[in-house]
Structure 1
Amino acid sequence: MRRFFYATSNDISNKTDNNYPHLSTLPIGASVELTESIAHHWCRVLRANIGDHGILFDGFGGEYQVQLQTMSKKHATATLITHINDDRSAPLLTKIGLVISRGERMDYAIQKSTELGVTAIQLLSSHHGEVNLKPAQVEKKLAHWQQVAIAACEQCGLNRPPVILAPLSINDWLRDPVTDIEIAISSAVSPIVAALSKDHYYQLLQQPADLRLQLSVPAAGQPLIPKALSTVLAQELPYIELLIGPEGGLSDEECLKAQSVGFEPWQIGARVLRTETAPVVALATLHALLPLVSH
């Protein structure tokens, strides 16, 4: 069955067509108005018929099997058939500080990181970075990258999309760690996922990370695996932050700043990875190591 992200809103005073309730507040058998994007994609692009079944998930846990009930040129409704209490989130929390790269490389990094269960991606600019967004570009690019992550969730089966946080300079991010995730999400993400800030799963990012790792180029004397990694992965729900620089690498000053706030260098293998490859390899490695050290 086709899967669709159902974007909700916490603003109950807003009665516009873009305000949709949490699915968990509706009883099984209730009729739910589909969002404009779902109605367009399911009914018009995929040419669904009345009675077709699909899956809706809103990021608050589990998902719902629904049956298409009505459809018109711009609107559609579906009936909630059953709730599937299956949380496919990764067994660890991961937040990537990722320096923005150009075009399809950035889309690839976000798409594949989502498939590998990343919890959040903080977009960064750096001294050697290729991309520095103008203020007028941020909203549009943020919406695009968030939609890339959502589409990856719909395809791979995840039902909690990662939040993509608006760009910061790497120095600002390292100097001012986020301490209020609800404020950070509501003010720094695309509106399509802002409501998720109140969910316990995303609020866990408010806590300090158990381990902070900077993906680095191979260098003599560095351990292949940081000593603390095995211990952290053995925890019940480890939280790891990853810092990934641009194609030209982080500057010496940025590396020193990262180390001063607790980032440990981590080199994976003997080759220099591209910026879009590094998050994929890092997340895959963490998932491969997790069952080997978990209790």
Structure 2
Amino acid sequence: MRRFFYASSNDTNTPFPKLSTLPMGASVELTDSIVHHWCRVLRANIGDQGILFDGFGGEYQVQLQAISKKNATATLLTRSEDDRSASVLTKIALVMSRGERMDYAIQKSTELGVTAIQLLSSHHGEVNLKPAQVEKKLAHWQQVAIAACEQCGLNRPPLILAPLSIDDWLLNIAASEKLNEKEMVVSPIVAELSQDSYYQVLQQPADLRLQLSVPAAGQPLRPETLSIALKRDKPYVELLIGPEGGLSNDERAQAQAMGFAPWQIGHRVLRTETAPVVALATLHALRY
């Protein structure tokens, strides 16, 4: 059965209601993106059934009720409380890479249950977005994450956070810890969702901070604190992953000063789009 993200925040002037505020049997106006994908691209017919999720928890089985040229409505049939979120909450601070490699990293991280991805630029990074490019790229990468959720069954999309230089990001961490607050800048499609209580852990200091590092002689493969943190009820881990050329010496030192312990996974050098997948899979394996 096809799954679709029902965004209460959207590119129209009329916000859509949260699905949880509607009774079963209610008629729901579908968002433009769902109408386009389900009714036009997939050529759905009245009576066809699908799944909607809005990111606030759970999912809803619906049946197409009416289709017109520009609009469509569906009837809410049942609600399922299935969450499928990972037991380890994770934020990956990922230096941006070009083209399909970045899409791949976001897509696969989503499938592995990442909670948020902080986009970064760095001294050795390939991508430095101009201010005029940020909104478009942020929307694109958020849609990549949402599409991965629709495919894999995750009902809470990861937040893709607007890009910062790694220097500014580390400074913001230091400042927010003193003020006990952080600002999350996201695409408008998830702006309301980012205020939900589920994502509030992202406002707090992580239980563990790790920077994926190039294998080095004499460096422990795994920080001792990792197994301790993963024994918590709902651990929150931040991961810093550098670009293809690696972080600079200054960036590594700054990150370590902010508590990001070096973590090398195995004895090989991972590509920047592979590292998030391996790191998340390893965390979940160690958790269980």
- Per the shorter chain, which TM-score range? over 0.9
* Match of residue 239, structure 1, among 227, 236, 239: 236
How far off its partner does 1:9 sit?
Answer: 3.4
Indicate the residue corresponding to 1:45 in structure 2: 41
Matched position secondary structure for 1:176: helix
1:139 partner amino acid: E
Superposed, 1:185-264 pairs within 5 Å as 185=184, 188-264=185-261
What CA distance in whole angstroms lies between the structure 1 residues aligned with 2:200 and 2:261?
A: 24
How far off its partner does 1:223 sit?
Answer: 1.1
Indicate the residue corresponding to 1:7 in structure 2: 7
Residue pair 2:109, 2:277 contacting (<8 A) in 1 also: yes
Indicate the residue corresponding to 1:119 in structure 2: 115
What CA distance in whole angstroms lies between the structure 1 residues aligned with 2:42 and 2:109?
A: 27
TM-score, normalised relative to structure 2: 0.96
* Match of residue 131, structure 2, among 129, 135, 138: 135
* Match of residue 65, structure 1, among 58, 61, 77: 61
Matched position secondary structure for 1:83: strand
1:61 partner amino acid: G
Matched position secondary structure for 2:210: strand
Q: State yes or no: 1:281 paired with 2:278.
A: yes
Matched position secondary structure for 2:224: coil
Aligned residues: 283
For residues 176-229 of structure 1, what are the alpha-carbon distances to aligned partners after superposition, in whole Å with 9 as ceiling and x for unaligned?
A: 125545xx33xx111111111221110111111000000000001111111011
Alignment RMSD: 1.3
Which stretches in structure 2 are left out of the alignment for 5+ residues? none
Residue pair 1:9, 1:21 contacting (<8 A) in 2 also: no
Residue pair 1:18, 1:35 contacting (<8 A) in 2 also: no
What CA distance in whole angstroms lies between the structure 2 residues aligned with 1:198 and 1:79?
A: 27
What CA distance in whole angstroms lies between the structure 2 residues aligned with 1:259 and 1:17?
A: 45
What CA distance in whole angstroms lies between the structure 2 residues aligned with 1:18 and 1:65?
A: 23
How far off its partner does 1:17 sit?
Answer: 5.2
Superposed, 1:124-163 pairs within 5 Å as 124-163=120-159
Residue pair 1:64, 1:84 contacting (<8 A) in 2 also: yes
* Match of residue 30, structure 2, among 28, 34, 55: 34
How far off its partner does 1:78 sit?
Answer: 0.3
TM-score, normalised relative to structure 1: 0.94
For residues 147-185 of structure 1, what are the alpha-carbon distances to aligned partners after superposition, in whole Å with 9 as ceiling and x for unaligned?
A: 00000000000000000000000001111125545xx33
Residue pair 2:24, 2:76 contacting (<8 A) in 1 also: yes
Matched position secondary structure for 1:43: helix
Structure 1 stretches of at least 4 aligned residues deviating more than 6 Å after TM superposition: none
What CA distance in whole angstroms lies between the structure 1 residues aligned with 2:57 and 2:238?
A: 23
For residues 29-55 of structure 1, what are the alpha-carbon distances to aligned partners after superposition, in whole Å with 9 as ceiling and x for unaligned?
A: 000000000011000000001000000
How far off its partner does 1:92 sit?
Answer: 1.1
For residues 39-91 of structure 1, what are the alpha-carbon distances to aligned partners after superposition, in whole Å with 9 as ceiling and x for unaligned?
A: 11000000001000000000000000000000111100000001101111000
